[in-house]
Structure 1
Amino acid sequence: MTTALITGASSGIGAVYARRLAARGHDLVLVARATDRLDTLANELRDAHGVSIEVLTADLTDGQQLEPVLQRLRSETPIDILVNNAGAGLLGDFANADPAEMHKLLQLNVLAPTLLASAAIGGMVERGSGSIINIASVLALLPEYSHGIYAATKSYVLTLSQSLAAEVTKGVYIQAVLPAATRTEIYERAGGDISKIPDVMEVDDLVDAALNGFDRKELVTIPPVPDVVAWEAFEQARGTLAQGFSNSKPAARYRP
């Protein structure tokens, strides 16, 4: 029996991951701010699947509340799957953004998943097994489609996933999931209106697709993209670009 720790587990993507992983027989550690929601979900899943479930109430932007979650990941009772799902959005442009709100978003979308992955990965490497699922966004690849720093935070999550996958290769699997518009509470919490967004994916479909990619051991899973050839071409173009990085002289177009 393996154990998965899921952040942002009280609703949306995190709650669906909890339901799907419990149905697969995984014990769970559920992390979020809303204790009542977590308890309700935990009771539902214990009754439905007979799995063991721990509940950790924590605001991951608060260092003191984050620490018990980090300790749980480092504990002798192993976490086999970390789902780094907790995240938020921030509407508005960069020039007018509230610095305090940007700081909070960076803590949640960048610092927290980094520290959580760091706390989990040592034990995974030592055991030679484990998985980290990082929820990013398609905006990581299209930052010009989003104002402010949200896309930049998700670009970081994607880059972190790619670099970890290259670094930790023996038995530890890293997956970055890049949702497009998905029907969750993130829009409402940021002050937006999801009804104005076209082609919104249902959260159950998103997680089912992401777990399909997980089972296939994909490094990057983009559920709405219909043809994997598009992603492969993107990666090939990135590799072609990288071939020029080792030149010791500037390209001819930059020379006087």
Structure 2
Amino acid sequence: MLLTDGLAIVGGFIVVLLLLKLLWRCWCGFRQFVLSEIWQVDLRTYGQWAVVTGATSGIGKAYASELARRGLDVILISRSTDKLRMVAKEIKDQYGRKTRTIQVDFTEGQSIYPLIAKELQDLEIGILVNNVGMTYSDHFAYFLEAPDAEQKITQVVNCNMLSVPQMTRLVLPGMVERGTGLIINISSQVAVRPQPLLCLYSATKIFVTYFSQCLQAEYKSKGITVQCVVPFLVSTNMTTLPVNCMVKSAPGFAHDALNTVGYSTYTSGCLSHALQDPLNTLTGFLIILQSVALSVLVPDWFLMSSFLIRQFRKLNIWPHLHGS
């Protein structure tokens, strides 16, 4: 009887802890995706200028436009001069904000950053959005199958990985000096679990996640916020997906994701993406059940199996996950 009573007490204690944990996560999810729509952080308090990389299309363009709508002047960085001029004109005409453009190709590596540093000099950079990124292949592919593999590896690493710490290095000192600043790094759900046939892209995006979390731990005491945004499906030029209840438009995603600033430093960006995230139980029992089902139906050993890899490879399609 003593053993039975003891086990019952332990079991009851565990159930109470799980319920409390669930309630806390539900509250956090409510704050992040519902209350944030009502009480938004005034992003102008971070500084006058926002810098957005990969700013001429997709999520980058949407972030730039949304930041301008919320009262910030915007510095657009991308490789196409014509597209930069077009987006800058759209922002000026629609929101009346100042814009500056910097034309560089992030795949070129270290050589571009002195120019960026010169263009950013003496500006009060309050927000940095590290969005620029590229894919290794336009479909599921083995690592050695990409055309011009040596060149492509360098380009992907320069664009997806090197750009994040290098851009951070340029703007962070000024933020620390002023005691405020916001750095938003765009990762991807493709990095949440290992993704065979997307190995280089998956690996570069998990770098963004870990770098963001470590930087947040290091600099939060200095007044700096580092947010990692981990989207699911977003309709962009790369994905060419129709917008629906599961796939967000780029402007809709940027709006929702910016609402979460001040509420979360690691976010799916919007409620519909949080509901699809098997590692995010912020919204309660539904997501817990989803997570359990996913782990049972597609466990890691099966995800990494040669059989499944061969089946995906036969599809010869791009999986339509976010690529900045």
TM-score, structure 1 as length reference: 0.80
Report the secondary structure of 2:51's partner residue: strand
Match runs of 1:175-214 below 5 Å: 175-187=227-239, 199-214=246-261
Distance (whole Å) between structure 1 residues aligned to residue 233 and residue 67 of structure 2 = 23
**Separation in 2 of the partners of 1:215 and 1:208?**
14
Q: Is the 8 A contact 2:212 2:228 kept in 1?
A: yes
- Residue 126 of structure 1 is aligned with which of 174, 177, 199? 177
CA contact (8 A) 2:186 2:230 kept: yes
Work out whether residues 107 and 154 of structure 2, in 8 Å CA contact, stay in contact via their aligned partners in 1.
no
Q: Which runs of 5+ in 2 are unaligned?
A: 1-43, 283-324
Please give the root-mean-square deviation of Cα atoms over the aligned residues, in Å.
2.3
Separation in 1, partners of 2:115, 2:151:
24
Structure 1 range deviating more: 64-73 or 22-31: 64-73
1:39 aligns with 2:85: yes
Q: Which amino acid aligns with 1:156?
A: F
Task: Specify the code of the residue in structure 1 equivalent to 2:142.
Answer: D
- For 1:179-215, what per-residue CA distance to the aligned partner results, in whole angstroms no more than 9, with x for missing partners? 112221234xxxxx758xx953321222122111124
**What code does the residue aligned with 2:111 have?**
Q
Q: Indicate the structure (1 or 2) with the bigger Cα radius of gyration.
A: 2
Q: Is the 8 A contact 1:31 1:57 kept in 2?
A: yes
1:39-78 matches, cutoff 5 A: 39-62=85-108, 63-73=110-120, 75-78=121-124
Between structures 1 and 2, the one with greater helix share: 2
| Alignment partner, residue 231 of structure 1 | 280
Deviation sequence 1:136-172 (CA, Å, 0-9, x none): 0011212236523001000000000000000001211
Counterpart of 1:184, as a letter, is T
Q: Judging changes above 3 Å, is the alpha-carbon distance between structure 1 residues 61 and 23 closer, same or farther for their aligned structure 2 residues?
A: same
Cα distance in structure 2, aligned partners of 1:227 and 1:109: 24
Percent identity, aligned pairs only?
33
The aligned counterpart of 2:53 is 7
CA distance in 1, matches of 2:257, 2:197: 23
Q: Which residue of 2 aligns with 1:88?
A: 134
State the one-letter code of the partner of 2:256: A
For 1:232 and 1:171, locate their aligned partners in 2 and report how far apart those are by CA, in whole Å: 28
Residues 152-167 of structure 1: matches in 2 within 5 Å? 152-167=203-218
Alignment of 1:105 with 2:151, yes or no, is: no
Query: What is the CA distance between 1:230 and its match in structure 2?
Result: 5.1
Asked if 2 retains the 8 angstrom alpha-carbon contact of 1:139 and 1:146, the reply is: no
Structure 1 portions without partners, runs of 5+: 188-192, 234-256
Q: Partners in 1 of 2:55 and 2:278 — Cα distance?
A: 33
Q: Label 1:45 to 1:129 Cα distance change in 2 as closer, same or farther (>3 A).
A: same
CA contact (8 A) 1:139 1:145 kept: no
Aligned length: 224
* Cα distance, 1:146–1:228 mapped onto 2, change above 3 Å: closer
Stretch moving more, 143-152 or 40-49: 143-152
SS in 1 for 2:161: helix
Show the counterpart of 2:320: none
Q: 1:172 aligns with which of 203, 221, 224?
A: 224
Q: Which moved more, 1:160-169 or 1:35-44?
A: 35-44
Structure with the larger RCO, 1 or 2 (CA within 8 Å, 6+ apart): 2
SS of the residue 2:280 aligns to: helix
When residues 95 and 14 of structure 1 are mapped into structure 2, their CA distance, relative to the original with a 3 A threshold, is same
